Amino acid sequence: MIFQDLSDSEQLKVKEAIHRLLETNLLVKDKERDVYATLRRHRVALESYYRFLGWELVVDERHECVYLHIPDSRLRRRLDREQTLWLLVLRLLYEEKRQGLSLADYPMVTLYEIRSKYESFRLEWINRTTLDKLVRMCAQAQLLEPLDSDNRSDDARFKLFHTWIYLIQADEMKDLLDKLESHMTNGEGGGVQDEMDEAASVD
C-alpha cells in the first residue's frame, strides 16, 4: 500500500486530506493550513494515487492552493445559467484585479463592482436569495471569502482566492468571453453555459 509506512496518526491525516479534497476539488492554504501541509508533504504519493484514478493533483506552491482535476464529466456538477454567468463574471474580475498585486495579496472586489460588470455585459442582475446562494457556493468551493456581514450591500467586499486560476484557466477564458459577448449581442446564453460546464468543476 502506498501509505503503509506512515504512522497511524499520519495515515489518518492523509485520509482526512483525501476526503476533504474530494468534497471540494479546490483548496486554499489560508483556509485549511493543516490539510494543505499534509497534501504538500505527501505530494508525490498522492499524485501517484490520483493518477491511478485518472485524475490530476496540482499542488500550486506559488499561489498556495491545491486543485484536483477530475476529467470525468459524470463527476462534475451541472451548473445552471445563473451560476455559470456569476462564475464567469467573477473570474473576469479576478483577472482584472490581480494585475499589479504581489502573490501575497488577494484581489478584492465589491458587490457594486460585480453588479457593474453584469451591467457592462447587459446581463440581468440576480435577486437577493440567489445572491446569497451564489456567495455561499463560492465560499464552500474556496473561491472567495465574504469580508462583511451584509453581503447584499453595494459596499460588501469579497476576497478572491487564487483558485479562480484553476476553475477557469486563461486559455479557456477567451472562448468563454467570446460566448458571453455573443450572448450580449444575440441574447443567446446556452453556449456560455455549455462551455462553462466543460471548463469548470465545482464539487
Identify the domain containing residue 154 by its residue range.
81-196
Q: Is 166 helix (H, G, I), strand (E, B) or coil?
A: helix
pLDDT tens per residue across span 159-170: 999 999 998 877
Percentage above 90 pLDDT, the chain: 65
Task: Work out the pLDDT band at 183, boundaries 50, 70, 90.
Answer: low
Same domain for 42 and 95, yes or no, is: no
Is 67 among the domain residues? yes
Same domain for 130 and 100, yes or no, is: yes
Q: Which of 128, 55, 133 is nearest to 87 (CA)?
A: 133
pTM for the predicted model, two decimal places:
0.84
pLDDT for residue 38 is more than 70: yes
Is 202 among the domain residues? no
CA distance 157 to 153: 9
Phi, psi of 117 (to 5 degrees): -65, -40
